[in-house]
Amino acid sequence: MLIQEKKNSVTQYIDDTFDTIMARDPHQTEFHQAIKLFFRSITPILDQNPIYIEKNMLGQLTEADRIISFRVPWIDDNGSVQVNRGYRVQFNNALGPYKGGMRFHPSVTTSVVKFLGFNQIFKNALTKQPLGGAKGGADFDPKGKSDHEVMRFCQSFMNELHRHIGPDIDIPAGDIGVGAREIGYLFGQYKKLSGAFHAGVMTGKGQTYGGSLGRTEATGYGTIYFTEEMLRENGLSFAGSTVVISGSGNVSIHAMEKAVELGAKVVACSDSDGYIYDENGVDLQTIRELKDKGDERISDYVLFHPSAQYNDTCADIWSIPCDIALPCATENELDGQAASTLIGNGVKAIAEGANMPSTQEAIDLFLEQGILFAPAKAVNAGGVAVSALEMAQNSSRMTWTFDEVDDKLKEIMKDIYQSCTEAASAYAHPNNLVVGANIAGFKRVADAMIAQGIV
C-alpha cells in the first residue's frame, strides 16, 4: 500500500510539474516533447529518492537560468537590410560553464532552442566533463547566402551574443547551419569586441586558431563508437551489417565513414529533398564531393552512379530494409509508421545521431519489440565530448594528435554506454538505454544542484 501511495505521489508530482510548464509556455511543442520523454524515464529514481521531489528538482531543471532573445540586423549583397532573431538559452550550470551549440536554420524558435538546451544538460553530464547545458542560434538560413552575407550576419549576431559568453561563463559551438566558416566569423568578431584572444570562448574552431583535431569527425564517430559498444554487448557487430543513415551532413558523413571502416555496408542516405539508395553501398567520396560544392543536392548522386535510385521523399528512407538504422538528420524524422516499417523489415538496432530524431511513438514501439535502441542524449554526445577536449587543449596551450583525441573520444563513448546500462539495471530497467541515459545524467546534475543549495 505504501509503495502504491509513493508511486501515486510521484506520478502526481510529474503531472503537476508538466501542467505548470504547459500553462506557462503552451505553444512550445518541441520543448514539451523533450521534457515529457524525460519525465517518463526518470520515474524510477524519483520513486526511490524523495529528496528530488522535496527539492522540486523537475521544476528547477525545466526552467532555464535565462533566455536571451535579440534582434540581428544585417545587410545583404543587394544593400537591403534584413532582420533575424537570435537566441541563447543558458539552461543549467551546476556542473560547469554553460556549453552547447548554435543552430542557424529557419526552423529555430524559442521552443527549439529550449528543447535542445534542456537535453544538452544531461548529454553533457553523461560525458563526465565539467560542463553545464545551453543552446542557441537564429532563424537565419546560411544556405544560398554568399560568404560576405554570412560574415555580416555572424558579426551582427556576435555584437549581442558577446555580452553573455566567455571561457568560464558560456562556451558556444556549432550545430546545424553553423560550421567552420560561421565559427570563424563569430570568433573573429568576438576577438575584436573583447580586445583579447580567448581561445576557450568557442569550440569547433579552425585548427589554425585553437581548434582541435578530430572535432569535425567527433559527433559522427561518437555515434558509431557508442553503437559499436551496444552491438558488441548484445552479440552483434557492424561487420557484415546493412546500415541506413539519414542525412548527408557532417554527422552523417562521418558516421558513414566509420561504419564502413568497421565492415558495414551503408546503402542509403538523404537530404531535405529526398534520399538515395545504392544496393552496392553508398560511395562516400561522391557524397563528400557533392556536399563540398555547396549547391548540389543528394539527387545528383545518381548522375555518377546510374545503378542507384533516388526518391524525392526523404521520410521514406526508413522503408529500406537494414540491420542498423541511424537517424542523423533532424528532430522527429522517424515516426511510429517508420518504426513499424523498420521492425517489419527486421531491423536489429537504432541509434540516434541527431537530436530527438524519433517520436515518442517510435521509441515505444522499438522498446516494446525488444529492438536495441540508443537515445540521442548518449549517442550524440561525441561532439561536446571533443569540445571539452578542445577546451582542455586551449587551457593548457597544448595540441593533441588526431589519434590521441580519437582514443579519448572512444573511451568517453564507451564510458557513457556503461553509465547508461548500469543506471538502467540499478533502477530495474535492464537494457533500456532511454531510462539509463536520463537517470545517469539527471542524478549527476541533481546531486550537484542539491549540494550547491537553492541558488
pLDDT tens for the chain, residues 1 to 455: 444 555 579 999 999 999 999 999 999 999 999 999 999 999 999 999 999 999 999 999 999 999 999 999 999 999 999 999 999 999 999 999 999 999 999 999 999 999 999 999 999 999 999 999 999 999 999 999 999 999 999 999 999 999 999 999 999 999 999 999 999 999 999 999 999 999 999 999 999 999 999 999 999 999 999 999 999 999 999 999 999 999 999 999 999 999 999 999 999 999 999 999 999 999 999 999 998 876 678 999 999 999 999 999 999 999 999 999 999 999 999 999 999 999 999 999 999 999 999 999 999 999 999 999 999 999 999 999 999 999 999 999 999 999 999 999 999 999 999 999 999 999 999 999 999 999 999 999 999 999 999 86
- Let me know whether 302 and 245 are in one domain: yes
Domain boundary among 36, 62, 88: 62
- Let me know whether 292 and 242 are in one domain: yes
Q: Are 404 and 220 in contact (CB under 8 A)?
A: no
- Let me know whether 54 and 168 are in one domain: no
Number of H helices, E strands in the chain: 18, 12
Domain boundary among 313, 344, 379: 379
Q: What is the pLDDT of residue 297?
A: 86
Is residue 154 domain-resident? yes
Please list the active-site residues.
135
User: Rounded to an integer, what distance in angstroms lies between the CA atom of residue 268 and that of residue 272?
Assistant: 14
Is residue 80 domain-resident? yes
Q: Are 365 and 343 in contact (CB under 8 A)?
A: yes
Is residue 147 domain-resident? yes
Concatenated DSSP letters of 123-173:
HHHHHTSS--EEEEEES---TT--HHHHHHHHHHHHHHHGGG-BTTTEEEE
Is residue 150 domain-resident? yes
348 CB-side CA count, 13 A: 16
User: Which domain, by its residues, includes 340?
Assistant: 218-379
Is residue 275 domain-resident? yes
Q: What is the pLDDT of residue 291?
A: 84
- Let me know whether 246 and 308 are in one domain: yes
- Let me know whether 310 and 249 are in one domain: yes
- Let me know whether 193 and 111 are in one domain: yes
Distances from the Cα of 174 to the Cα of 32, 101, 216, 252, angstroms: 24, 5, 10, 15
- Identify the CATH number of the domain in which residue 375 sits: 3.40.50.720
Q: Which residue has the cell 550537484?
A: 448
- Let me know whether 241 and 268 are in one domain: yes
Q: What is the pLDDT of residue 45?
A: 98
Three-state SS string over 271-292 comes to CCCCEEECCCCCCHHHHHHHHH
- Let me know whether 74 and 104 are in one domain: yes
- Let me know whether 121 and 255 are in one domain: no
Is residue 280 domain-resident? yes
- Let me know whether 238 and 317 are in one domain: yes
Concatenated DSSP letters of 348-375:
-EEE--SSS-B-HHHHHHHHHTT-EEE-
Domain boundary among 12, 46, 62: 62
Q: At what angle do helices 218-233 and 402-426 cross, to 10 degrees?
A: 50
Query: Is residue 79 classed exposed, middle or buried when 0-12, 13-18 and 19+ CB atoms within 10 A define those classes?
Result: exposed
Q: Are 117 and 64 in contact (CB under 8 A)?
A: yes
Q: Based on the structure, what is the number of domains in the chain?
A: 3
